[in-house]
Structures are given as structure tokens and as C-alpha cells.
Structure 1
Amino acid sequence: MDTLTAIVVTALLSMLPIFELRLALPLAIETFHLHWILAFFITVIFNILVVIPIFLFLDYLHKHFLKFRWYDKSINFVLNKIRNRSKKVEYSLETFGLLTLTLFVALPLPGTGAWTGSLIAWALNLKRNRSFLAIAFGVLIAGLIVLILTLGISGVVNSKF
């Protein structure tokens, strides 16, 4: 596989739910043989960029699905429960919610990435710009963790730039 194809595949994989950078970064380094710095920046940037369309898509999808009675009843029930509980701890949510969101996204486990973080921020009605920054920082931390797990600590420290 040529370098351009490897870069495109890496970028696309890092934008997919479940895969995100957790799979794309090791794959780019070990299978596609991209330099770790290039692979790191591609996966982190594209994993962060996917948050914007997710926020927009969730609003659009939610708005159009509300026309269906079954969706309207079920989603409003769930969202009202989530949002009512979040109002009870509104101060804690504003203070610690973004930190918690960052740490959640930073965990390099399946189901804890930018996609799920965006869904949580949307469901809790967190401010978009702050949520975006929290998710972006979480993705950056996750990228560093995955990079260290892929190369090992000595591989990152001793690597030639």
C-alpha cells in the first residue's frame, strides 16, 4: 500500500465509531508502516474533526425522528430522565462534567471515544464549544496512551523524529 492510501485509510478509520484512533493508530504504525508522528497527528486530528458532524447530525436526526410517535415517546422519556437528573447536580456537572467527559474519552477502551463522548454531551445538553474542547483533549490523551502502548515508552522516547 502506498503512503497516500495508508494516510487516507488511517484518517477514515479514525473517524469510524468503535475503531476511532484506538485501532487506527496501531494499524497505521504496525501494518501501514507510517511514521509514528504522522500516524499520531492524522488519527488525533480526524478523530477530533468527527465530533462536529456528530453534533450537527444528532440535532438533525433527533429533529426528524421526533415525527415518529415511538421515537418521540421513548427518546423524550430517556432524555427527560437524564436531563432532570443532571439539573439536580447542575453545579457539579458544570464543574466536573467536562473533566469527567475528558477522562471518559481519554480511556482507550471500545465505546469510550469521541462518538460516545459527543452523544453524552448532547444528551446532557452540555455547551457545545466546551464539550468539543473536552472531547478533543480526551482524544489527545487517548492518542498518547495508545501511542505509548503501541511503541512502548522507550520507543516513543528513543525514536528519531
Structure 2
Amino acid sequence: MSVENLLVEMLASVPHWLSVMVIGALPISELRGAIPVAMGIYGMGPLEAYFLSVLGNLIPVVPLLLFLEPVSKNLRRYRIFDIFFTWLFSRTRRNHSENFEKYGLLALTLFVAVPLPVTGAWTGCAAAFVFGIRFKHSFPAIAAGVMIAGIIVTAVTMTGMGLADLIFGS
């Protein structure tokens, strides 16, 4: 059973619009799961699916951007977390600082906009935190990336559904 089907089953008693927002807010599915579920399972139109999925995907961004740093500082009091965060930050900066320095916030937007596993709003928030990008700059970049990803996923879902209709005559 796919993650999306499991989520739909778990959210069966919740209104469809809220289910789509919840699926969009979860780090495991984000837009890549919410839009196909909205259109394919709940029969929503592309605009409604896009709007609810993007809104759901943006809900965790604000708390993540505001609280990752304080939580990290608190956890660093413990040696194991300090070692982990030191490793994570140095590795991430070593592997990605060139792209960020070259492209700035555009790099963050494009990173979030690519609807592939391990990209998206949640990872974009983590990247903004690691690179020390302030909220007033990171939120608009992440929001733009989420909106672009939503357009891509909606278009791909519509194309896939159109192909399925042609193939199966639904």
C-alpha cells in the first residue's frame, strides 16, 4: 500500500479539503502526494487541488523557520546532538555553499520547486536554517518554490490523468 493510500485511509472521516491540506503539510508527501490524491481520489479540479495543497504545504514553513534554530541550540547542550549538528552543518555547507553563494535565494527557490524526493518545503526550511537565511528572505523564496512545484505537480497529474483516460477510456 502506498503512503498516499495509507494517508487517505487514515483520513477517511475528515473532510476531503482538510485531508488534502494535511497530506500537503506532511514531510513524507507534501505536494507530490496531496495534488494527485486531491484530483485522482477526491475528484477535485486542478485549481482547488493546487490551492489546498500549496496552502497545506506552507502551513509548517512558518513554525519550522522560526523554531529550528532555538530547538537546535537547546539540543546542542547534549554532546551527541552537538556532534550531529556540527557534522550536518559542515557537510551541507561544504557540498552546497558554492551553489548558494552563486545563486543566492534563487537556489533555495529552485531547490524547493523541484518536486522530487528529498526536496520541498521541509528540506528548504532546513537548508535556510543551515545557511543562516533570515525568515524575511527564506519564507518568500520557499513559498515561491512551493507554488512552482505545485504548478509542476498539477500539470503532471493532469497529463497523467489525461493519458489514463485515453488508455482506459474512463
Q: Same fold (TM over 0.5)?
A: yes
2:74 pairs, out of 64, 76, 96, with 64
Shift of 1:85: 8.3
Normalising by structure 2, what TM-score? 0.77
Aligned position for 2:110: 103
1:32 pairs, out of 32, 42, 49, with 42
Aligned position for 1:137: 144
Q: What are structure 1's unaligned runs of at least 5 residues?
A: 156-161
Aligned position for 2:165: none
Counterpart CA distance in 2 for 1:56 and 1:142 is: 23
Change (3 A) 1:8 1:102: same
Deviations 1:67-98 (Å, cap 9, x if unpaired)? 211111331344256558888x6xx7466121
Moved segments of 4+, more than 3 Å: 80-87, 92-95
Counterpart CA distance in 1 for 2:59 and 2:116 is: 19
Counterpart CA distance in 2 for 1:24 and 1:78 is: 29
Counterpart CA distance in 2 for 1:81 and 1:48 is: 27
User: Does the aligned pair in 2 maintain the 1:99–1:134 contact within 8 Å?
Assistant: yes
Amino-acid identity (%): 37
Shift of 1:18: 2.2
